[in-house]
Structure formats: structure tokens, C-alpha cells
């Protein structure tokens, strides 16, 4: 049996390299990364209690100390007091050479917090805003996030606009988010795609065909809400499943660690970007990359959604 996750943490913290690596184009990242949405507070955007700035910076720095070299963010991750990009800049600049910062465009928020969706012509402004906030002269990876109802033709126009910014040197690599296999096919006809971000987890497997397609193409699949599930931005809101609890007890791990480990077991191309504002939860999330589930445990977890 795998050494219990909590026992590992009690001796020496598990580092992100335990999860293995994958490549985003020519950039190598550990498969356990960090999602920056919750650096701004206990709830996403303007909901919840604003974060303590010092604690948020400490979490970001500790993530890098633990070997995390893939940070996911967006200019629209801000609350009344905090901006995720500004926190990342303050905590981590000058940036380590191996740190990959992935951001996303498409959705946007004005200073009052009101949402809008960018037209293809407005995407350059969103890219430049991320550049300014992060203090970079180019962005490592930019994901085009879309509404699921968006047709392939409109999506292709927007992705083409991002591809032009890649050709201009503002972006190194491109990804897509909240998409279908048809969107992926259309994007690849325009420019290389290094990653796909979609909601996915033990309870939310609508993106299974997309996960498989990415694996066949050698493209990173990056689930979000892998722990929160249907709670999405609000965080974990469910009563935990008994199968998850049993596997957690067998490994002296937390249910969140089991959910992350199950996700990583879905394929070597699957990355994880759990977010947290807690140093303890950060350590636990990174340690999930060392959790090796047995074939029997994986089979039991695979049946969770089928049983409801």
C-alpha cells in the first residue's frame, strides 16, 4: 500500500515532482499545479471574505517552494481588495525560470465587477491587461475561455485573433477552455493547442470524450472544479461520498486528496490546478500527487457517479 499521505506530510512535505511532469508545448510542468482564484478571498470574485494579503503571498511562495511550477490565473480574478495577478507578481517576481503562468481571456469584468464577454477585437486588450498586471513581456500560455453555447464559427474567429497575438510574440502557447471536441478540432486547424481546461472530476465527467481526445493528441487536459464538483466557484458543498471516505481512510488521506489523485490517474496528460488560500490545504493538495490508488480503489471510485 502507498505510504499514507498524512504520514508523508508529518516527516517531510511531499513536493510537486511526485506527480510527474507533462509538457505544455516546449514548457515542462509538474502535474500538480496551483489555481489562483482563491488567493483573493474565501469566495470567488466579490463573494466571501477578502483574503489576508500576507497569507495569500505566503501561500503562493510556499507553492513554489514545494515545487509547483504551473500557476493558473486570470485578470478577472479579483475581489474588492485583491487581484490574483497582482498577488502573483508581488509574491513571485522576479519569476523562477521554470515557472509557467497560464491565464485566460474571453470573460472580463469592469472595475465595478460587472461581467462581459470580449469580442475578437477586444482580446488584445485582455492579453495586454494580463501582461501589465503580471509584469511580463509575454504570456506563457493563454486559454480562450468560451460560453458552452458558443458556436464553432464564432469560436474560430476569436481563436484566430489569439493566434495572431501569438504570432506577434505576446503569447507563447495557446489553450482553450469550457469547450467540446468540435471546438478543439476547429482550434487545431488554426494553431497548435497545448492544453484544454474544462470542468471535470469524480462527480462531473461530461468531458470524458474530450479527455480521451486530448490523450490521443498529446495535449494536456486540465480539469477545474476537480475537488469542488457541482459547488464550482462556491467550493465544496456536497456531503462526501462513502466510497471516497473509505479510500481516504485506507491511505490516511483526505477526501480532497483522493479526488485529486483519482483525477491524475485518468491519464499522464491530466494536470491538476487545485486552488486554496490555506497553507495546510496547499501542502495536502501537493501531497495528493504522491497518492497511488490501487486498481480496486480506482474501480470503486469509477462507479461513484454511476451509483449517484
CB 228 within 8 A of CB 234: yes
The mean pLDDT of the chain is 91
pLDDT at 229: 47
- Report the distance separating Cα 9 and Cα 70, nearest Å: 21
pLDDT at 239: 80
Classify the phi-psi angles of 20: left when phi > 0, otherwise alpha if psi is within -120 to 50, otherwise beta.
left
| pLDDT-based confidence at residue 225 (cuts at 50, 70, 90) | confident
The residue ranking higher by pLDDT, 292 or 12, is 292
pLDDT at 144: 98
Mean pLDDT calculated for residue range 267-283: 96
* pLDDT digits 0-9 by tens, 183-194: 999 999 999 999
% of the chain with per-residue pLDDT over 70: 89
- Report the distance separating Cα 225 and Cα 247, nearest Å: 20
The vertex-113 CA angle with 119 and 50, nearest 5°, equals 135
The single residue of 77, 95, 200, 225 carrying the catalytic annotation is 77
* pLDDT digits 0-9 by tens, 111-137: 888 899 999 999 999 999 999 999 999
Mean pLDDT calculated for residue range 227-232: 58
Domains of the chain: 5-307 (3.20.20.100)
Residue with cell 480503489: 297
C-alpha torsion 45→289→145→77, nearest 10: 20
Listing DSSP states for the chain in one string gives: -PPPHHHHHHHS---GGGG-EEEETTEEEESB-EE-GGGGBSSSTTSSPBPPHHHHHHHHHHHHHTT--EEE--TT-B-SS-BHHHHHHHHHPSPPTT-EEEEEESEEE-TT--EEE--GGGHHHHHHHHHHHHT-SSEEEEEEE--TT--HHHHHHHHHHHHHHHHTTSEEEEEEES--HHHHHHHHTTS---EEEEE-BTTB-TTHHHHHHHHHHT-EEEEESTTTGGGGGG---SPPPHHHHHHHHHHT--HHHHHHHHHHTT-TTB-B----S-HHHHHHHHHGGG----HHHHHHHHTHHHH-
* pLDDT digits 0-9 by tens, 40-90: 986 655 566 778 999 999 999 999 999 999 999 999 999 888 899 999 999
* pLDDT digits 0-9 by tens, 9-26: 457 899 999 999 999 999
Whole-model pTM?
0.92
User: 29 CB contacts (<8 Å, ≥6 apart)?
Assistant: 21, 22, 23, 69, 70, 100, 271
Residue 77 falls in the annotated catalytic set:
yes
For 75, the grid coordinates are 485578470
Mean pLDDT calculated for residue range 193-203: 96
Q: Is the pLDDT of residue 308 over 80?
A: no
Amino acid at each position: 500500500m502507498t505510504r499514507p499521505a498524512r504520514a508523508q506530510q508529518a516527516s517531510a512535505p511531499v513536493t510537486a515532482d511526485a506527480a510527474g511532469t507533462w509538457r505544455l508545448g516546449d514548457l515542462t510542468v509538474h502535474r500538480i499545479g496551483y489555481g489562483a482564484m482563491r488567493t483573493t478571498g474565501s469566495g470567488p470574485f466579490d463573494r466571501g471574505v477578502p483574503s489576508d494579503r500576507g497569507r495569500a503571498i505566503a501561500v503562493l511562495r510556499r507553492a513554489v517552494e514545494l515545487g509547483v511550477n504551473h500557476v493558473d490565473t486570470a485578470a478577472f480574478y479579483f475581489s474588492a481588495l485583491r487581484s490574483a495577478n497582482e498577488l502573483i507578481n508581488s509574491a513571485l517576481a522576479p519569476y523562477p525560470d521554470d515557472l509557467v503562468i497560464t491565464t485566460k481571456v474571453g470573460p472580463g469584468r469592469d472595475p465595478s465587477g460587472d461581467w462581459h464577454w470580449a469580442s475578437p477585437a477586444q482580446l488584445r486588450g485582455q492579453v495586454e491587461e494580463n501582461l501589465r498586471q503580471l509584469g511580463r513581456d509575454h504570456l506563457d500560455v493563454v486559454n480562450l475561455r468560451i460560453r458552452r453555447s458558443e458556436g464553432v464559427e464564432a469560436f474560430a474567429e476569436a481563436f484566430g485573433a489569439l493566434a495572431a497575438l501569438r504570432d506577434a510574440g505576446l503569447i507563447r502557447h495557446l489553450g482553450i477552455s469550457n469547450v467540446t471536441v468540435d471546438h478543439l478540432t476547429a482550434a487545431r486547424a488554426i494553431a497548435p493547442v497545448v492544453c484544454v481546461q474544462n470542468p471535470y472530476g469524480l462527480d462531473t465527467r461530461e468531458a470524458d470524450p474530450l479527455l480521451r481526445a486530448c490523450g490521443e493528441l498529446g495535449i494536456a487536459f486540465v480539469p477545474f472544479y476537480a475537488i469542488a464538483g457541482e459547488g464550482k466557484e462556491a467550493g465544496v458543498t456536497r456531503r462526501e461520498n462513502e466510497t471516497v471516505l473509505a479510500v481516504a481512510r485506507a491511505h490516511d488521506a483526505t477526501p480532497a486528496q483522493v479526488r485529486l489523485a483519482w483525477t491524475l490517474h485518468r491519464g499522464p496528460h491530466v494536470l491538476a490546478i487545485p486552488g486554496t488560500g490555506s497553507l495546510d490545504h496547499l501542502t495536502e493538495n501537493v501531497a495528493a500527487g504522491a497518492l497511488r490508488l490501487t486498481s480496486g480503489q480506482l474501480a470503486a471510485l469509477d462507479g461513484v457517479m454511476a451509483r449517484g
